[in-house]
Chain A
Amino acid sequence: MKAAVIVFPGSNGDMDMYHALTDFTDAGTVDFVPHTSETVEAYDAIFLPGGFSYGDYLRSGAIARFAPVMKSVIAEANKGKPVLGVCNGFQILLEANLLPGAMKRNKHLKYMCRTVDVNVENADTCFTRAYEHGERLRIPIAHGEGNYECDETTYETLKADNRIVFTYGSDVNGSVGNIAGITNEAGNVLGMMPHPERAMEAILGSEDGRRLFTNIYRHWRDRHVVTT
Chain B
Amino acid sequence: MINVHVYITLKEGVLDPQGQAVQRSLTALGYDEVDTVSVGKWLKLEMSDGADVESRVEQMCEQLLANPVIENYTYYVEREEKV
Contact = CB atoms under 8 A, between A and B. Distances in A.
On whether the two chains bind one another, the answer is: yes
B67 A95 contact: yes
Q: Secondary structure of the B side of the interface?
A: mixed
A149 B18 CA distance: 15
B13 to A, nearest CB: 9
A10 interface: no
Interface of A is mostly: loop
A41 to B, nearest CB: 25
Nearest to B10: A104
A63 to B, nearest CB: 8
B14 A104 contact: yes
Contact of B70 (A102, A107, A108): A102
A109 interface: yes
B40 interface: no
A106 interface: yes
B17 A59 contact: no
B17 A107 contact: yes
B26 interface: no
Interface in A120-155: 147, 149-151
Nearest to A107: B17
Interface residues on B, range: 10 to 19
A62 B17 contact: no
Contacts of B14: 104, 149
B29 interface: no
Contacts, number: 36
Contact of A174 (B15, B64, B69, B70): B15
Contacts of B10: 104
B69 A102 contact: yes
Interface in B5-22: 10, 14-15, 17-18, 21
Interface in A145-178: 147, 149-151, 174
A102 B17 contact: no
B8 to A, nearest CB: 9
Given A107-B17, A109-B17, A174-B15, A62 B64 contact: yes
B65 interface: yes
A176 to B, nearest CB: 10
Contact of B18 (A66, A109, A150, A174): A109
B21 A109 contact: yes
**Most B CB within 10 A of own CB, among A95, A104, A105, A109:** A104
B79 to A, nearest CB: 26
A58 B40 CA distance: 11
Contact of A66 (B15, B64, B69): B64
Interface string A55-72: 000110011001000000
Interface of B: 10, 14-15, 17-18, 21, 64-65, 67, 69-70
